[in-house]
Structure 1
Amino acid sequence: MSAPVPLPAATGVAPASARAELGELVRLAGPLVVANLLQMAVYAVDVVFVARLGEVELAAATLGVYVYSVVMWALVGMTGAAAPLIAAELGARANAVREVRRSFRMALWLTVIAAAPFLLLLANGEALLLLAGQDARVAKRADAFMDILLWAMIPAVAASVMRTAAAALGRPAYAMAVNVMALLVAVGANWLLVFGNLGFPRLGLEGSALASVLTTVAMLFAYAAILLLDRRLRRFRLFGRWWRAEWARLREIVKLGVPIALTLTFEGALFGGAGFLMGLIGVMEVAAHAVALNIAAIAFQVPFGIAQAATIRVGLGYGAGDRVWIARAGWVALGVTVGFMALTAAALLLFPRLFVSAYVDAGAAGNARLVALSVQLLLVAAMFQLFDGGQVVAAAVLRGLQDTRVPMIVALFGYWVAGFGTAVLLGFQAGWGGTGIWWGLAMGVAVVYGLLLWRWAARERLGLLPA
């Protein structure tokens, strides 16, 4: 791997033009986008191996991963509040070693503190799934799966904190390298443990869960080694005095992080709820929903990476007290996102069948209904591509201003009043079926994007800028 490029902005100097800001954004976001796509590949590996074990095992893994992911992403969002704090500290003073270390240390503390009660929840997965009306056989197997997978929770969230710190300190390319390693570990561990190759025990579904634990632990150790050995990063001595409490800083992270966690939960639950609504219509609708959502999720990794970078870029300007830098960083990130998502929307409109054929045999007569419905959903997905990418970056630039509480309220209203309400109305009352449910998703992200974009544009009038 080539040597990571330091961020000039980490010196506290704002880019002189929008073009220079674009260069800094691309240098920071590029590796994060690739890392996100590689992380999706890691998730896909588990599905590929478990799918060969049978439909009960696949259903158990799917439900188990869904419950685990909802909790994990909420915790990642909460501890991710360290990102705007670290960026603001670096923007105010390039050598803010002590302040950066405090934020990093308390984010790791919060990882352990906040995860503990959720680990108990995952340990009772069978009761949780039975309460949700799931098949008893699937619930029992999912419980065994989650009993092992829960041990990946703390390493996964802690690794995310370390990745955020490395990116904010000018080393985003490490995220890409670590995820390449994680992909190799995931493939190897699944191959050895699920089917018992090379003399290893054949553990089946439990082997896949254990492979996930080994993958996240490997990522954790890789990031720890990077933070300790990299010349630029080790001068911050991020693991120094790890036992020392900084309660004021912990409260800051919690204050910013809880709304972020809830925002991510509201959004994830909307798409999970849409899957539940699809299930009320039919099995074919669930399958088409899964295909179309997976395709949209791949495209979403680009704005998601831009959003991660945008929080840091705006946070640097916020810490420096530079309103021009703040505006430039935010608008450049939003402009790049809308431009890219316009291209993906056009591709989905023009070639929907081509994308679907990557998942199912579009020429098989038995798949005709599935392909037709998936194509219909992708045409709707093309409409909300712009809004979905825009809303995640709009939330990110506001996060850079340490504004998270109102965006949380916007997410609750947009996703669950406008979005889910429209999905129920069009899907069932109007009789549009699965297509109507997806128009509800489009409505939800469009409302959130519109309100967050207005808040960003009105940031000075709303008192969101530094004095």
Structure 2
Amino acid sequence: MTVAASTPSPAAPERAAGLGPWLFEARAMVKLALPLIAGQLGLIAMSVTDVLMIAPLGPTHLAAGSLAFMLYFNIWLFCLGVLIASASLASQARGARNFKGVRRSIRQGFWVAITLVPPAALALWFGGDLLLLTGQDPKVVALAEPYLRAIVWSLPFSFGFLVLRFFVSALSRPNTVMIGLIAGAVVNVPLDYLLIHGALGVPALGIAGAAWATSLIWVGLFAWLVAVVLRDREFRRYHVFVRFWRPDWQRYREIWRIGLPVGVTLIAESGLFGACQLLMGLIGTLELAAHAVAIQVASVAFMVPLGIGQAAQVRVGQRFGAGDRAGVRRAGWMAMLLAGVTTGAAALVMWFAPEAIVGLFLESGSPIDGPVFVLAVNFLLVAAVFQLVDGAQVAMVSSLRGLSDTAWPLVIAVLSYWVVGFGAAWVFAFPLGLDGVGVWMGLAVGLAAAAVGLTLRFVLRERLGLLDRPAAA
């Protein structure tokens, strides 16, 4: 059934805005990206709150929390990558004004999400054994294991939230998601305190308390977004829950075909950070604790270009679906420009004020925190250097996802992160004796290689005229 949408068509002529094409694209992308960035900051704020609440328990607990979250996040990120294919397909269908295609993509996105829950849950439940196989300190792993078994219960709700998030974003309504994620971040603060440290009759659960707080937040976020989709007039017109159990194997397979390389690509990048975290654990507990702080700061900064990249995926997908080759080109390069500006600003802050930033997490004069503080400051100086290339790679890979181009980015990611990046991290850290700083230098080299490779891929598609061939919606 064809549905008349209430929002303007994404393929509407740019002349209607009374602006030049590039200025029009900049305005449209910023308008879409700002709430996505705010939502991402709300999401990462929950992780930052966990670190802040766990830090007073001591470096060993902080290291354990860092390891547990690393394993959980990599599994969750892989699943997000698979599900993100529904966003590309829904955006392309929206651009082609194929509203049935939007409904099919989101409904089968739920089917894929249900498929992903059991293997992800098993990997987390036995995550302690996986960490021990990597040579981590058994005492640290023993503290991490309760976190992993508590966070398992969040999976079906967080995956369902992601699918609905892609739905509302494909319709250029990201404010809806932003409100929920910011509210979740606010509620997470008292929940973390209650469950980690114990208060008001609630027992102190330690690191596991952070996982239970996160699980409760995901339950609330999913329930809230379901209610919004069912009540909002525009969202209701797509009937995403009607005949939910009716199979659509063609679209189900299409999501896997596009999404599986994306999931592996995300794991290739995030896995590089995770592997480097394991290298930190081999170097020492203090280095691992300092890495946990520095990676949180870098992750917060990354939320801005990530939001821009998500906006680029939607904008490129809509233009691709509408057969607008020039619009695809403008959206991709505008994402690169905006990401460069924002990551440049973040790099300046990290370079000139690392002590102030790390001071938000640790006390420089404390006999316990002091050594970790110094290490974290040094790591953050290297993080400042790779901000620009990190923004470039996420802008380009997101633009390629909007084109449903996921196979070659996977090859580029594996070579860049694991051959170049991890290889450089190991060489710098051990043979060259740079320890933790060397690990972070390897991260920078891997991200730079990915930025170059993905940019060349986008340029090649442009040169070969592959920006105006929309996939079937």
Using the size of structure 2 for normalisation, the TM-score is 0.90
Query: Which deviates further from its counterpart, 384-393 or 356-365?
Result: 356-365
2:92 to 83, 88, 91: 88
Post-superposition CA distance 1:264-303 (Å, at most 9, x none): 1111111112222233333343333333222222111100
Q: Which residue does the alignment assign to 1:12?
A: 11
Q: What code does the residue aligned with 1:13 have?
A: A
CA drift at 1:123: 2.1
CA drift at 1:454: 1.0
Q: What code does the residue aligned with 1:278 have?
A: M
Alignment of 1:389-428 (within 5 A): 389-428=391-430
Q: Which residue does the alignment assign to 1:184?
A: 186
Q: What code does the residue aligned with 2:269 have?
A: E
CA drift at 1:212: 1.9
Q: Which residue does the alignment assign to 2:160?
A: 158
Q: What code does the residue aligned with 1:147 have?
A: R
1:299–1:60 CA distance, 2 compared to 1 (3 A): closer
| Whole-angstrom CA distance in 2 between matches of 1:143 and 1:366 | 24
The SS at the match of 1:244 is coil
Residue 49 of structure 2 is aligned to residue 38 of structure 1: no
Kept in 2: contact 1:270–1:420 (CA 8 A): yes
Residue 373 of structure 2 is aligned to residue 374 of structure 1: no
Kept in 1: contact 2:336–2:396 (CA 8 A): yes
Kept in 1: contact 2:134–2:278 (CA 8 A): no
| Whole-angstrom CA distance in 1 between matches of 2:194 and 2:290 | 32
Kept in 1: contact 2:346–2:387 (CA 8 A): yes
| Whole-angstrom CA distance in 2 between matches of 1:184 and 1:214 | 13
Post-superposition CA distance 1:89-128 (Å, at most 9, x none): 01111xx332111100111110111221221222223333
Q: Which residue does the alignment assign to 2:117?
A: 115
CA drift at 1:380: 2.1
CA drift at 1:189: 3.2
1:305–1:216 CA distance, 2 compared to 1 (3 A): same
| Whole-angstrom CA distance in 1 between matches of 2:355 and 2:146 | 38
Query: Which deviates further from its counterpart, 358-367 or 310-319?
Result: 358-367
Give structure 2 stretches of 5+ with no counterpart.
Answer: 1-5, 16-20
| Whole-angstrom CA distance in 2 between matches of 1:368 and 1:148 | 32
Give structure 1 stretches of 5+ with no counterpart.
Answer: 1-5
CA drift at 1:192: 4.0
1:63–1:457 CA distance, 2 compared to 1 (3 A): same
Alignment of 1:247-262 (within 5 A): 247-262=249-264
Pairwise CA RMSD of aligned residues? 2.3
| Whole-angstrom CA distance in 2 between matches of 1:178 and 1:438 | 34
Q: What code does the residue aligned with 1:79 have?
A: L
1:354–1:196 CA distance, 2 compared to 1 (3 A): closer
Kept in 1: contact 2:403–2:467 (CA 8 A): yes
Kept in 1: contact 2:52–2:361 (CA 8 A): no
Q: What code does the residue aligned with 2:74 have?
A: V
The SS at the match of 2:238 is coil
CA drift at 1:200: 4.2
| Whole-angstrom CA distance in 1 between matches of 2:198 and 2:361 | 28
Kept in 1: contact 2:421–2:443 (CA 8 A): yes
Query: Which deviates further from its counterpart, 258-267 or 185-194?
Result: 185-194
1:131–1:431 CA distance, 2 compared to 1 (3 A): closer
| Whole-angstrom CA distance in 1 between matches of 2:99 and 2:382 | 48
| Whole-angstrom CA distance in 2 between matches of 1:204 and 1:444 | 35
Q: What code does the residue aligned with 1:12 have?
A: A
Alignment of 1:145-224 (within 5 A): 145-200=147-202, 202-224=204-226
CA drift at 1:462: 4.2
Query: Which deviates further from its counterpart, 176-185 or 235-244?
Result: 176-185
| Whole-angstrom CA distance in 2 between matches of 1:57 and 1:349 | 28
The SS at the match of 2:32 is helix
1:104–1:438 CA distance, 2 compared to 1 (3 A): same
Residue 42 of structure 2 is aligned to residue 28 of structure 1: no
The SS at the match of 1:458 is helix
1:268–1:117 CA distance, 2 compared to 1 (3 A): same
Taking only the aligned residue pairs, the percentage that are identical comes to 39
Q: Which residue does the alignment assign to 2:3?
A: none
CA drift at 1:137: 4.4
Using the size of structure 1 for normalisation, the TM-score is 0.91
1:282–1:347 CA distance, 2 compared to 1 (3 A): same
Q: Which residue does the alignment assign to 1:143?
A: 145
CA drift at 1:198: 3.5
Post-superposition CA distance 1:425-460 (Å, at most 9, x none): 222222333322222111101110001111111213
- Paired positions, count: 459
Kept in 1: contact 2:66–2:292 (CA 8 A): no
The SS at the match of 1:386 is helix
Q: What code does the residue aligned with 2:278 have?
A: F
Query: Which deviates further from its counterpart, 322-331 or 62-71?
Result: 62-71
1:344–1:11 CA distance, 2 compared to 1 (3 A): closer
CA drift at 1:386: 0.5
Query: Which deviates further from its counterpart, 175-184 or 26-35?
Result: 175-184
CA drift at 1:343: 1.8
Q: What code does the residue aligned with 2:396 have?
A: A
| Whole-angstrom CA distance in 2 between matches of 1:134 and 1:86 | 42
1:226–1:355 CA distance, 2 compared to 1 (3 A): same
2:388 to 379, 386, 392: 386
1:323 to 317, 322, 325: 325
Q: Which residue does the alignment assign to 2:297?
A: 295
Kept in 2: contact 1:334–1:390 (CA 8 A): yes
1:218–1:336 CA distance, 2 compared to 1 (3 A): same
Kept in 2: contact 1:126–1:139 (CA 8 A): yes
1:139–1:433 CA distance, 2 compared to 1 (3 A): closer
Query: Which deviates further from its counterpart, 358-367 or 120-129?
Result: 358-367
Kept in 2: contact 1:12–1:90 (CA 8 A): no
CA drift at 1:180: 2.3
CA drift at 1:193: 3.8
Residue 72 of structure 2 is aligned to residue 68 of structure 1: yes
Q: Which residue does the alignment assign to 1:268?
A: 270
Q: Which residue does the alignment assign to 2:229?
A: 227
1:137–1:442 CA distance, 2 compared to 1 (3 A): closer
1:373–1:184 CA distance, 2 compared to 1 (3 A): closer
Q: What code does the residue aligned with 2:443 have?
A: L
Q: What code does the residue aligned with 1:415 have?
A: Y
Q: What code does the residue aligned with 1:260 have?
A: V
